[in-house]
């Protein structure tokens, strides 16, 4: 990131200052407001410089992930899951309190691509790594790297479809648009899988043993088959970039008494940078999720015949693919929740 890494260190410095000076009961409001103001200013600056400074793009993307972490910590403090009181502590004791938080915010294994790890899990892992270390992750990392190569090969296959169907008739044009959207999404899946491998290699994400096999799925933003098999748009929204979706649900959706769904997508739009493509993409996504939830509540329970439910599920999956394809083609980075 070069000189632009100062954007990240400035964000961490501001958070530490707020922790030291603001009452814990209002800390989350201050952290949320100041951090989003700082990130918005960086997004505005990015719009003028991104074609000339790729390091700035990387820095702002990492800043978005830092926003997730500082607000997660502030929500933990507000919900009394975490205590960060520095009153009456000496300088060295204050360091002991703050260093785990700073280490969590700047954790390099998830700084460039996620996923979002809960602070309590991060601290528990660090404190227990000597007492109860996770098993050797070499095997699972190797398997996931093979999956990355398969995803890249699949992405290359869709690129061939795009080249073959480009400038053809209407049917081929529809197939080409769907293939372009799949190319974009497969890029995200491969990126998330690499990030998951990096975290697993460091020992993060271990969930114990299930049926005699080690489970390393504790830090995952969603797999290709699970996400793409979603039969409705609301299900796709929950599975796509799962840790960020959970963060948005906790930060906005559960805290809003009125209009939680549009406000959640509206904040996600703000978090992504408020670009024109984002506005169109997220508006369409929010509207279709709202319609889908209405259908799931009021229409589907009335279907009694199995064949009718099968047809409805099939049409719902096709509709989901069409909507996500349109959102992707309108704005590639509106495939929610990560630059």
Task: Please tell me the distance from the alpha carbon of residue 149 to that of residue 142, in angstroms, as a whole number.
Answer: 11
Mean pLDDT of 208-234: 87
The answer to whether residue 51 scores a pLDDT higher than 90 is no
- Lowest mean pLDDT segment, chosen from 29-33, 100-104, 272-276: 272-276
Asked about 272 being catalytic, the answer comes back as yes
pLDDT digits (tens, 9 = 90+) for 148-190: 999 999 999 998 888 877 666 777 788 888 888 899 999 999 9
The answer to whether residue 47 scores a pLDDT higher than 60 is yes
The answer to whether residue 235 scores a pLDDT higher than 60 is yes
Asked about 43 being catalytic, the answer comes back as no
pLDDT band at 335 (very low <50, low <70, confident <90, very high): very low
pLDDT at 267: 95
pLDDT band at 332 (very low <50, low <70, confident <90, very high): low
pLDDT at 112: 85
pLDDT at 34: 96
The answer to whether residue 261 scores a pLDDT higher than 70 is yes
Q: Please state the domain extents for the chain.
A: 2-106, 137-336
pLDDT digits (tens, 9 = 90+) for 97-140: 899 999 999 998 888 888 999 999 999 888 888 778 888 999 99
The answer to whether residue 62 scores a pLDDT higher than 70 is yes
Quick one: the chain helix, strand, coil %, rounded to 5? 75, 0, 25
The answer to whether residue 334 scores a pLDDT higher than 50 is no
pLDDT at 229: 92
Q: Which of the following is catalytic: 28, 43, 241, 278? A: 241
Q: Which residue has the tokens 């992707």?
A: 328
- Lowest mean pLDDT segment, chosen from 43-52, 190-199, 201-210: 43-52
Mean pLDDT of 258-270: 93
Output the CA–CA distances (angstroms, integers) from residue 161 to 141, 165, 180, 186, 317, in the order listed: 30, 6, 9, 14, 21
The answer to whether residue 339 scores a pLDDT higher than 60 is no
Mean pLDDT of 270-283: 86
Question: Going by C-beta distance under 8 Å and a sequence separation of 6 or more, which residues neighbour residue 314?
Answer: none
pLDDT at 168: 65
Of 240 and 165, the one with more pLDDT: 240
pLDDT at 337: 34
Q: What percent of the chain has pLDDT over 90?
A: 48
Q: Which of the following is catalytic: 28, 272, 290, 331? A: 272
Do residues 180 and 328 touch, judged by C-beta distance below 8 A?
Answer: yes
Q: What percent of the chain has pLDDT over 70?
A: 95
Q: What average pLDDT is seen over the chain?
A: 87
Task: Please tell me the distance from the alpha carbon of residue 204 to that of residue 181, in angstroms, as a whole number.
Answer: 31
Mean pLDDT of 190-217: 88
Task: Please tell me the distance from the alpha carbon of residue 338 to that of residue 113, in angstroms, as a whole number.
Answer: 8
């Amino acid at each position: 990131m070069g000189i632009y890494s100062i954007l990240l260190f400035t964000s961490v410095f501001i958070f530490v200052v707020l922790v030291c000076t603001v009452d814990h009961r209002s800390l989350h409001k201050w952290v949320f407001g100041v951090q989003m103001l700082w990130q918005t200013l960086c997004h505005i600056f990015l719009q003028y410089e991104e074609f000339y400074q790729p390091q700035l793009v990387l820095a702002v993307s990492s800043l978005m992930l830092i926003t997730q972490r500082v607000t997660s910590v502030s929500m933990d403090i507000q919900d009394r899951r975490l205590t960060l009181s520095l009153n009456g502590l000496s300088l060295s004791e204050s360091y002991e309190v703050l260093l785990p938080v700073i280490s969590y915010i700047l954790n390099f294994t998830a700084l460039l691509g996620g996923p979002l790890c809960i602070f309590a899990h991060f601290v528990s892992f660090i404190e227990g790594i000597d007492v109860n270390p996770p098993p050797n992750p070499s095997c699972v990392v190797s398997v996931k790297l093979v999956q990355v190569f398969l995803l890249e090969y699949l992405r290359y296959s869709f690129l061939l479809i795009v080249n073959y169907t480009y400038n053809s008739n209407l049917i081929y044009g529809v197939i080409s648009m769907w293939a372009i959207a799949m190319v974009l999404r497969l890029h995200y899946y491969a990126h998330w899988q690499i990030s998951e491998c990096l975290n697993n290699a460091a020992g993060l994400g271990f969930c114990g043993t299930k049926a005699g096999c080690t489970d390393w799925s504790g830090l995952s933003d969603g797999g290709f088959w699970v996400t793409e098999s979603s039969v409705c748009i609301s299900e796709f929204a929950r599975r796509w970039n799962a840790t960020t979706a959970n963060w948005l649900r906790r930060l906005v959706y559960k805290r809003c008494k009125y209009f939680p769904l549009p406000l959640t997508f509206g904040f996600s739009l703000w978090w992504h940078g408020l670009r024109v493509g984002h506005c169109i993409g997220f508006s369409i996504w929010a509207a279709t999720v709202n319609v889908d939830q209405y259908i799931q509540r009021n229409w589907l329970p009335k279907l009694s015949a199995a064949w009718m439910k099968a047809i409805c599920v099939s049409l719902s999956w096709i509709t989901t693919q069409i909507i996500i394809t349109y959102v992707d083609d309108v704005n590639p980075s509106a495939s929610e929740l990560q630059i």
